[in-house]
Chain A
Amino acid sequence: MEYVLRTPISEQEVRMLRVGDLITVDGLVVTLRDAGHKRAIEYLKSGRRLPIDLSGLILYHMGPVVRMGERGWEIVSAGPTTSTRLEQYESDLIKKTGVRLIVGKGGMGAKTAEACKRFGAAYAIYPGGAGALAAEAIESVEKVEWLDLGIPEAMWILRVRGFGPLMITIDSTGRDFYGERRGAIEENMKRMLESGGLWR
C-alpha cells in the first residue's frame, strides 16, 4: 500500500503500516546519529528533557551536508546513514519518547523490532545515497541542537514536505523484512555453492 502521513503520527496510524508499504511524509523530522543517540539516552536516563518532544515525530538517521546562508542553515544533501550502528540505543529511545517512525538505511535488529511491536512504532528505509533528493523535500531547518557534537552528529529539527519514498521494513507486528530476506539469501548462497557450476 502507499500512504501519505503527517506528524504528529498517532499510534493507530503507525499500527496500520505493514512491511513493504511505501510512504511519503510531511511534518517534523528530527535527526540523530551515534553521538546524538548516546546523549539522548543519557538525558532520558537522568530524567532531563530532550530539546524537542519526539512523541509522534519521525527520527531520521542522518548527518547532513549543510551551508550557512543569509537566511540561516541550509541543508544541501541529506540521505540516510546505516541504522544498525544505532541498534543498541533505539529500543530505549522508542520506549521513553513515543517516537513513531524511524527512518534510516540497511535495517535494524531484533530489539528495535520488539520495541516497535510493544510501543507502536515502525522502521522505514529511505533510498541510501539519495542525498540531493532528500534535501529537496526539506522546507526549512526549524532548529539545530547539540552542535557541539559536530555538524553530522548534531540534532537537526527539519520541516519536510513529500519526504519519500520510504519503505517500511519493520512494522508494529514485529515483522522484519531484512531479517526474513537474509534467510532467503543464505539459502541462495548454499544452493549456488552446492551446484558449483558457476566457476567452471
Chain B
Amino acid sequence: MLTEEGIRRYVVELIRAAATHLPEDVKASLRRAYELEENPLARRMLAAILENVELAGRRGRPICQDTGVVMFTVRAGERFPMLRRLPGILRMAVAEATREIPLRPNAVDMLTGENTGDNTGDYVPWIDWETVPGEDYAEITVLLKGGGSEAASGVTVLTPSAGIEGALKFVLEVVKEAGPRACPPLVIGVGLSGTAYTALCLAKRALLRGMSSHNPRPELASLEERLLKAVNMLGWGVHGVGGGATALDVRMEASHRHPASLAVGVVASCWAFRYSAMRIRRGKVEFLVHRFLNEMEAA
C-alpha cells in the first residue's frame, strides 16, 4: 500500500520530470518547426532551444530558470483512499521539490512582496479538482506556468453578434500584442463559453489536452487548424525574430453559451510547455506523460 510519504515522493518526481524533461510530443513539435523553418535567425533560435532541451534532460536541470507557478489538476475517484490527505501531500511535495530539484522560489506575498521561499502560499500551489464517481484512482496533472507566457493570456466577453470570427480575431490580437515577450513558439489553449470564468477554465483544459489533439467536433477541429495557420501568418516567429513558427499548436474547447454573451479565454504556454501526469490506483503509480519513469520503476 502507498503511504502518504510514498505519494509525496512520487509527486516530487512528477514535478521534477515536468521541470527538467520536455514531454516527447512537445519536443517532436519543436523539431518539426526547426525542420520547416527557412528564416536563418529563427533556425539559430530553434537550434539553441533544442540544444537547451537536450542539455536540461541530460543534466537533470530545469529547462527554464522560471520554473513557474505550480498548478495541479486532480481527477479524484470518490473511493480513492487518500482523498482527504491529497491537498496537504501536494503542498508538501511542492516545498520538497523546490529544495531538491531545485525550483526557483516564485511565491510572492501580494501585499508585502515577500517571497515565501518554497513555492507555497495563499492558494499556491493552485489545485483544480474534478471528482470521478465510483472510481478508486487519482489522476494528478502538474503544469509549471512561467511568468512570460502570461503575456499571451487574455479573456473578453463579446456580444454574440461578433460571432466566431470576432472570437478568433481576439485570439490573434492577444498573440500579436504579446509578441516576443511570451517566448514563442506558443502552445495556445482557447475556450469559448458564456462567462469569462468558464472560458478561461476551458482554455486551460484545451491547453492540457496534449499536443496536436483535435477537438472531437469537426467544425471546432477545423477552426483550430485555421487559427493556427492565422497565428503563424502574423509573422512574429520564434522569439519574435521572424519565420513561420509563432505557435506550435492551437487547441479549442467550447461550451454552450448564454444567449447574450460570447466569452473568449486564451491560456497560452511558452515553447517550454512543461507538464506531466500520473495515475495512482490500488497502490500502483503509472506516469502518463513521462513514460520512461515507469520503466525505471519496473527495473
Interface residues of A (CB under 8 A from B): 20, 22, 62-67, 76-79, 81-82, 84, 105-107, 125, 127-136, 150-152, 165, 167, 178, 181-182, 184-186, 188-189, 192-193, 196, 198-199
A198 to B230, CA, bound (A): 7
Give chain B's interface residue range (CB within 8 Å of chain A).
Answer: 35 or more
Are the C-beta atoms of B148 and A64 separated by less than 8 Å? no
B residues 202-226 near A (Cβ < 8 Å) are 226
The answer to the question of B168 belonging to the interface, with a C-beta cut-off of 8 Å to chain A, is yes
| Chain B contact residues, majority secondary structure | helix
Interface residues of B (CB under 8 A from A): 41, 44-45, 48-49, 51-52, 55-56, 59, 61-67, 102-106, 115, 146-148, 151, 164-165, 168-169, 172-173, 176, 179-181, 183, 226, 229-230, 233-236, 239-242, 270-272
Given A130-B48, A131-B63, are A192 and B230 neighbors across the interface (CB < 8 Å)? yes
Give min CB distance, B275 to chain A, whole Å.
15
Q: Which of B168, B176, B179 contacts A199 (CB 8 A)?
A: B168
A67 to B271, CA, bound (A): 25
Given A151-B104, A192-B233, are A129 and B44 neighbors across the interface (CB < 8 Å)? no
B226 contacts across to A, CB distance below 8 A: 198-199
B106 contacts across to A, CB distance below 8 A: 152
A147 to B74, CA, bound (A): 36
A192 contacts across to B, CB distance below 8 A: 172, 230, 233-234
Identify the closest chain B residue to A76 (Cβ): B61
A-B contact pairs, 6 of them (CB 8 A): A62-B65, A82-B151, A84-B181, A152-B106, A192-B172, A192-B234
Are the C-beta atoms of A129 and B271 separated by less than 8 Å? yes
Given A129-B271, A165-B48, are A106 and B179 neighbors across the interface (CB < 8 Å)? yes
A59 to B181, CA, bound (A): 19
Given A82-B181, A105-B183, are A125 and B48 neighbors across the interface (CB < 8 Å)? no
A135 contacts across to B, CB distance below 8 A: 61, 65
Identify the closest chain B residue to A135 (Cβ): B61
Are the C-beta atoms of B234 and A185 separated by less than 8 Å? yes
A90 to B240, CA, bound (A): 21
Identify the closest chain B residue to A67 (Cβ): B102
Q: Which of B151, B169, B239 contacts A193 (CB 8 A)?
A: B169
Given A77-B64, A184-B235, A192-B233, are A129 and B52 neighbors across the interface (CB < 8 Å)? yes
Identify the closest chain B residue to A131 (Cβ): B65
A165 to B159, CA, bound (A): 46
Q: Which of B55, B179, B271 contacts A133 (CB 8 A)?
A: B55
B229 contacts across to A, CB distance below 8 A: 198
Identify the closest chain A residue to B58 (Cβ): A132
